[in-house]
């Protein structure tokens, strides 16, 4: 085994799920586990989330839902985008819940439900998504009543909810979130005028769950907060979330380099003095961005912050440890805590002008995941 691992603290996942459920009392909690649980491992995270109180799981792809079913997870699973026609047979067979937002999508789903022998006694649950202003996917508000009627008229499918997605809920005070909720309210009022009352309404992602009580409605869909990361720096500290993932390696090689020597590809890093340089067997093929060293990225060695020295390569990176005693096999923490120091995914994100989501999702499959169990 490589001396590399991503440690996932399932106790932190359970804590975060319970915390989010307490933040939105009266709302169902959907734990979003798409993209292999944001890089944490979809199956272990999903099991933990359900045990901690999540009533629904969210995925982006039918294949992601099928993976959870194959692992024996029986909780409701919502596919968050309209599935392609050739995915619908599996969606029905694995008893997933569908998102739709076009007439063609409704028709294709109804046909798949017929082929799958679904009846009104055991229908495919359908979530009708409304585009309230993000303009990624979703039906236009004027299209929602006709689409809802088509769903209600089709045998083997049932309207489960009307929902939308907030574009700027991670920006406290941004008036656009209220505008989106106004549009959703108006759409639901149009449905009511047509005699249609969807069982559920939902709009809140992690940001809205934390910051906007109005958005919580009947169900909240929490992704990044389940993993202990704030949706944005503006929401950091609003809830005592616990980051679940650490990225750890062992130094594979140590050498002494004299002052003035330059390191790694491009020779862009110059040793200002004689230094101990540690090689760490992680690189951009594992999800450590190549430019993290150039933007001031650090790691923890011996409980101290030490700079990444030079260009990160595909399989390795270098660390300038100064005069610290370092030996091959010593622990190097890229994300996580060592001693009194902590480096977070958001620290990487700040260096890279991105978001913590991209950091944790980018940790590649070459990095083994190790799971710490829920503490009793």
Is the sign of the CA dihedral 155, 157, 162, 164 positive or negative?
Answer: negative
For 22, the 3-state DSSP assignment is helix
pLDDT at 329 over 80: yes
Neighbour count for residue 274 (Cβ, 10 Å): 13
Phi, psi of 16 (to 5 degrees): -65, -40
Give the rounded percent of residues in the chain with a pLDDT score beyond 90.
Answer: 98
Give residue 376's pLDDT band: very low, low, confident or very high (50, 70, 90).
low
Which one of 34, 269, 284, 357 is the catalytic residue? Answer: 34
Mean pLDDT, the chain, integer:
97
pLDDT in tens, 245-279: 999 999 999 999 999 999 999 999 999 999 999 99
Which one of 38, 265, 357, 371 is the catalytic residue? Answer: 265
Q: How far is it, in rounded angstroms, from Cα 144 to Cα 212?
A: 25
Give residue 1's pLDDT band: very low, low, confident or very high (50, 70, 90).
confident
19: nearest Cα among 241, 312, 311 = 241
* pLDDT recorded at residue 375: 82
Give the rounded percent of residues in the chain with a pLDDT score beyond 70.
Answer: 100
* pLDDT recorded at residue 106: 98
- For 295-310, what is the mean pLDDT? 97
pLDDT in tens, 7-58: 999 999 999 999 999 999 999 999 999 999 999 999 999 999 999 999 999 9
Name, in order, each residue with C-beta under 8 angstroms of 252's C-beta and a sequence gap of 6 or more: 3, 279, 280, 281, 316, 328
pLDDT in tens, 114-152: 999 999 999 999 999 999 999 999 999 999 999 999 999
Confirm whether 34 is a catalytic residue.
yes
Give residue 2's pLDDT band: very low, low, confident or very high (50, 70, 90).
confident
CA dist list (Å): 1 to 4, 285, 317, 359 = 8, 17, 18, 23
For 58, the 3-state DSSP assignment is strand
Phi, psi of 183 (to 5 degrees): -65, -40
* pLDDT recorded at residue 374: 85
């Amino acid at each position: 085994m490589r001396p590399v691992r991503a440690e996932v603290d399932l106790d932190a996942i359970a804590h975060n799920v319970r915390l989010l459920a307490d933040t939105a009392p009266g709302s169902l909690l959907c734990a979003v586990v798409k993209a292999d649980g944001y890089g944490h491992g979809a199956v272990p995270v999903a099991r933990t989330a359900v045990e901690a109180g999540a009533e629904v799981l969210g995925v982006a792809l039918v294949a992601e839902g099928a993976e959870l079913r194959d692992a024996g997870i029986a909780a409701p699973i919502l596919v968050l985008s309209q599935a392609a026609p050739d995915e619908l047979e599996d969606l029905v067979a694995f008893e997933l819940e569908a998102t739709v937002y076009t007439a063609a999508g409704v028709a294709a789903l109804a046909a798949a439900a017929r082929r799958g022998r679904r009846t009104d006694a055991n229908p495919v649950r359908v979530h009708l998504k409304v585009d309230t202003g993000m303009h990624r996917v979703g039906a236009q508000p004027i299209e929602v009543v006709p689409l809802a009627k088509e769903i209600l008229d089709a045998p083997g499918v049932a309207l489960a909810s009307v929902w939308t997605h907030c574009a700027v809920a991670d920006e406290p005070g941004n008036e656009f979130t209220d505008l989106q909720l106004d549009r959703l309210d108006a759409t639901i009022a149009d449905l009511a005028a047509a005699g249609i009352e969807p069982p559920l309404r939902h709009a809140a992602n992690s940001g809205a769950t934390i910051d906007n009580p109005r958005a919580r409605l009947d169900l909240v869909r929490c992704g990044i907060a389940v993993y202990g990361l704030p949706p944005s720096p503006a929401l950091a500290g609003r809830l005592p979330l616990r980051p679940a993932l650490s990225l750890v390696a062992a130094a594979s090689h140590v050498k002494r380099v004299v002052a003035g020597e330059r390191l790694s590809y491009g020779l862009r890093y110059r040793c200002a003095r004689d230094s101990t340089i540690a090689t760490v067997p992680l690189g951009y093929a594992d999800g450590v961005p190549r430019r993290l060293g150039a933007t001031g990225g650090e790691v923890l060695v011996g409980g101290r912050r030490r700079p990444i020295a030079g260009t990160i390569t595909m399989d390795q990176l270098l660390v300038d440890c100064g005069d610290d005693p370092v030996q091959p096999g010593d622990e190097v923490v890229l994300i996580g805590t060592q001693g009194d120091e902590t480096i977070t995914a958001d620290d990487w994100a700040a260096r890279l002008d991105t978001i913590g989501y991209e950091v944790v999702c980018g940790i590649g499959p070459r990095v083994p995941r190790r799971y710490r169990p829920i503490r009793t």
